[in-house]
Each structure stands twice: as C-alpha cells, then as structure tokens.
Structure 1
Amino acid sequence: MFTEFINRILGAERRSTASDRLEKSAVPSVIVTKDSNKTSPQPVPEKYRKDVALLRSKYGDAFKTGFCINLTLLESLSIMPRERRRVDSYRGLQSYLMKEWDITLTITSRKTKSKTL
C-alpha cells in the first residue's frame, strides 16, 4: 500500500494485478469440439417420439437427413392424429425435424393459400 502511494506521487504507472491474472490464464480450461460427422440426431423428445416412429414406419429407409415430406392435412391426421385438427398443431414437430434431422415437413390444407404468383 505504501509503495502504491509513492508510485502515485511520483507518477509511475500502476499495473493491475487482475490483468496479470487474465494474461496468465488465457488458455481455456475446457476445450469444446463439435462433431462434424453427426450420424444420428440426439434422442427424440418424448412428445415427438410417437410421431417420428409413425413417420419412420411410413417412409422406411427414406427417412433420413435432407428428406422432404409433403403431406396434406388429411394425410397427416391419418398418420399422426391430433386433437386440434389444424396445420399449426404440427409446427413443433416441423421445427424439431428441421433443426435436429434436417427434414422438411410441409403440411398443407385446402384453406392454405399458395405463396406463388
């Protein structure tokens, strides 16, 4: 403390001890690597397990990464019944399949308007 006071009076530059600690510990303590060749997705959450199993049974070996499934609402309700008989009841499953499996699930109804001109 006394030397710090003298350094302030004499105008010497003060070095921070916190910055010294940061410079010494610049190496991260944990190294995280991402597996680039992901063979199978994470375990299927319970709420989508039945739907994924039904889709696998319908499409068999074709149910893999990059697959695109186009269904009408009536077809999807026959495969994966829902209490709420609307396209938006499948939104969670659609986002899960896209995020984890890279599978595009498109469900259209007679009321769905096309986005083409």
Structure 2
Amino acid sequence: MNLFFGGPPEESLKHQVGEKASGPDVSEKTGSRHNEKYEQDITALREKFGNSFITGLCVRITLKKALGMMPRNRKRVDAYYGLARYLQEEYGITLTIYSQKTKSNDHEKDNL
C-alpha cells in the first residue's frame, strides 16, 4: 500500500518483523484449561463433588447454594452464565443454577 502513497515499502514490514515486535499480530488460542477468572469457582466445585468432577457431569444447584460455594457481587442466576459456558466448553460439564424464587415449569417439576 505504501507504494501507492509514496512511502517506502519497508515501513509496512516494521509492524510485523521490526525490532519492537513482541509477538504475532493474531492471538492464538491455547489448549490450556487454566482460567484464573474461574479458578476459585472450579476449586469449590471440586471440593463439593470430589472425584465426581469429571467430563459429562451435570450439576443442578440452587442459586442460594451456588452463592454459598462461589460468591458473586450480583446475586442472580445470570452471574454464573460465564462459568457455565466455560465449564461446558473446557470440561464438558453442564452447570445449571436455578432460583427458588422463580416458578418452575411443569416439565421441570417432573425432572426433580
């Protein structure tokens, strides 16, 4: 592009291979399961479920119990959505947190 605008061509390469280049322009996803954001939550779940904390586990707990194990500033079910998504993607564990205040549907009563 610099050829069209009158700049020397080597300037365009400085961004990619210059002396100050610290890493690739594109972020790479690592295969690591370590995420500091959820580390304490996962530790609490491991303590609760012990050896049962394995891939394929389905955890269904009340919001009150979840807040006791994994406190949040926002005391709502949606505060755990990120953790639930992380557990599903990285460990294959389904985490369902429900509030006792909300009315359950008839089909949910059958599953309890």
One fold, TM greater than 0.5? yes
Deviation per CA, 1:47-88, whole angstroms, max 9, x where unpaired? 001100110011100000000001000000000011110000
CA distance in 2, matches of 1:51, 1:59: 12
CA distance in 1, matches of 2:103, 2:69: 23
Find the counterpart in structure 2 of residue 103 from structure 1: 93
CA distance in 2, matches of 1:70, 1:107: 6
Gaps of 5+ in 1: 1-40
Alignment check: 8 A CA contact 2:33 2:90 kept? no
Q: CA deviation at 1:116?
A: 4.2
SS of the aligned residue for 1:71 comes to strand
CA distance in 1, matches of 2:104, 2:38: 28
Find the counterpart in structure 2 of residue 16 from structure 1: none
Deviation per CA, 1:64-117, whole angstroms, max 9, x where unpaired? 000000100000000001111000000000000011101000000023343445
Find the counterpart in structure 2 of residue 52 from structure 1: 42
The residue type paired with residue 114 of structure 1 is S
Q: Which has the larger radius of gyration?
A: 1
Alpha carbon RMSD of aligned pairs, Å?
1.5
CA distance in 2, matches of 1:91, 1:112: 17
Gaps of 5+ in 2: 1-30, 108-112
Count of aligned pairs: 77
